[in-house]
Amino acid sequence: MAFGYNVPMIRFGLIILCATVTLVAQPVRVPRTWYTAAVKDWATHIAALGVRPGHFTEAEYYAAPVENVRTYPVYFPGREPAGYWDRITKSAPQPLIDASKLKTQADWVTAGKRVWEEGDIIGFRNYSPEAIARFRTFNSPDLEEFKPSPDGTLPGPRWVVTARGVAVSAENCTQCHRRYEADGSKLDGPGLNDLTAFHVTGLVTNVPGMSTIPLPGDDEGKALWRSFIVPWVKDDINDQLKAMSPVDLGRLFGSAFGPNITPRWSGSLFYPTKVPDLITLKGQKYIDHTGTHQYRGTADIMRYAALVSFADSSDYGPHRILTDQQRRISSRLPDEALYAMALYIESLSPPPNPNPAGEASVAGQKIFQREGCAGCHAPPYYTNGKLTLAEGYRPSPEIARQYDILPISVGTNPDLALKTRKGTGFYKIPSLRGVWYRGRYLHDGALTTLEEMFNPDRLKPDFVPTGFKGLDKARAVPGHVFGLRLTAEDRAALIAFLKTL
């Protein structure tokens, strides 16, 4: 019998064909970054207040002017390609993203990589001739300690060409969420290992404190205090910031900043956070260590990028952190740029794992099961995405109903979750994928190796953590007692397994 094609089959085939063509040809639908229904219940309640932080309204957000311009690297003297500066100063502003040229999903991800790499902190743009001269001539003593990347560029600053002219500005996301490898390559996603970009940024901008937006009316001290104050906490530790001597402040900064650890606006110099690896967002339901916002899909990454770059109103129920003059969105990225960047972030994958599975790791996997780790760190993402309770916090049933909570506490230091503006009362369960290169463990990055993480001595007050320890010489790193009572052999096997993830 010949293979006859009957009419219904052809019709069916045509339908499939049309559906495929429609799928391929369909333009990418760019989500709206900021709209009332999406921001209304996006943020997590603040534990001490029982309210969600407020946000700019949709109208306020879209009233802000759009900034869509490319930026360019700053070269060390002698390393600049011939004619580079001329090209920059004579060129017209170029679009950071041109959505009309993007057809496929892959085009969008490539465009997103550019937004990620070139996107600057708009509020930091500095058009002053002195600031520009500093990065043209490097005649500032502050710049002496820095070395160029292998390609001759200085991580941190960016030249930006806008309708107003050329400004010096600063890298945004890559300042903190990028790792520099020994061979000169760059790994996007994990927390910074090199502080150059971070330090240099301080020399670019006139914006004081830990803010990404200008704070008119504030001097450095006031801005620093405003970055962290928590008006609803009695005897707020940040009250000291206003009166601290430069020496004490320097020591505090020294303790809170380092490879892979930095406080953010609304976080704390006293209770800083490690920089999370954005590669491990997969499998998560919440954003930030304390789960400050939900992660419901790509648009929430767009929203979060907008929030931390230019759109944090910093309202908490009756408490307002910003003055009327400061509380505004000066400019915003186009939705297309934020969408492309969010797609790029979601496309990030881990570097090749150099730790092959072997006898020890197979034994370790069994220990992982036996010790109940998988109950929280469930494969395939090695997190179940849930929130746990910070020591001492019990949410009301009404609040608890609205979140995906495992109602137990792992007993780690509760201060970030209870005494900061990121104080949701929760710590999320982190993914264990990529722990082999993470280099910082627990929300505050107190520990820097897995051996240290599973060393029971860390519970003792005379323990000296190799990571964050505040201003103390020694301090216990409490909580997360899972895996602390293993024999030396079992512990080694468990760690061998974790290193394969």
Interface residue list for ligand HEC (CB under 6 A): 172-173, 175-177, 262, 264, 267, 273, 275-276, 278, 281, 284, 287-290, 301, 304-305, 308-309, 368, 371-373, 375-377, 388, 408, 410, 412, 422, 427, 429-430, 432, 435, 438, 441-443, 453, 480, 482-483, 494
Residue 26 CB, nearest approach to ligand HEC (Å): 26
Closer residue to ligand HEC in complex, CB, 225/304: 304
Residue 286 CB, nearest approach to ligand HEC (Å): 7
Residue 236 CB, nearest approach to ligand HEC (Å): 18
If we measure between CA atoms, which residue out of 126, 124, 69, 133 comes closest to residue 98? 69
Closer residue to ligand HEC in complex, CB, 131/343: 343
Residue 483 CB, nearest approach to ligand HEC (Å): 3
Closer residue to ligand HEC in complex, CB, 275/340: 275
Closer residue to ligand HEC in complex, CB, 154/453: 453
Spacing of C-alpha 353 from chain mean position = 23
Residue 183 CB, nearest approach to ligand HEC (Å): 24
Closer residue to ligand HEC in complex, CB, 99/176: 176
SS3 of 140-188: the string is CHHHCCCCCCCCCEEEEEEEEEECCEEEEEEECHHHCCEEECCCCCEEE
The DSSP call for residue 454 is T
| DSSP states of 186-246 | EEESSPPS--HHHHHHHHH----TT-SS--TT--HHHHHHHHH--TTSTT-GGGGGGG--H
Residue 343 CB, nearest approach to ligand HEC (Å): 12
Beta strands in 385-498 (DSSP E): 387-389, 405-406, 426-428
> Dihedrals φ, ψ of 248, to 5°?
-65, -40
Residue 373 CB, nearest approach to ligand HEC (Å): 3
Class of residue 245 by CB neighbours under 10 A (exposed 0-12, middle 13-18, buried 19+) = exposed
Closer residue to ligand HEC in complex, CB, 93/411: 411
In the three-class reduction of DSSP (H, G, I as helix; E, B as strand; rest coil), residue 262 is classed as strand
Contact assessment for residue 75 and residue 88, using Cβ atoms and an 8 Å cutoff:
no
Closer residue to ligand HEC in complex, CB, 209/267: 267
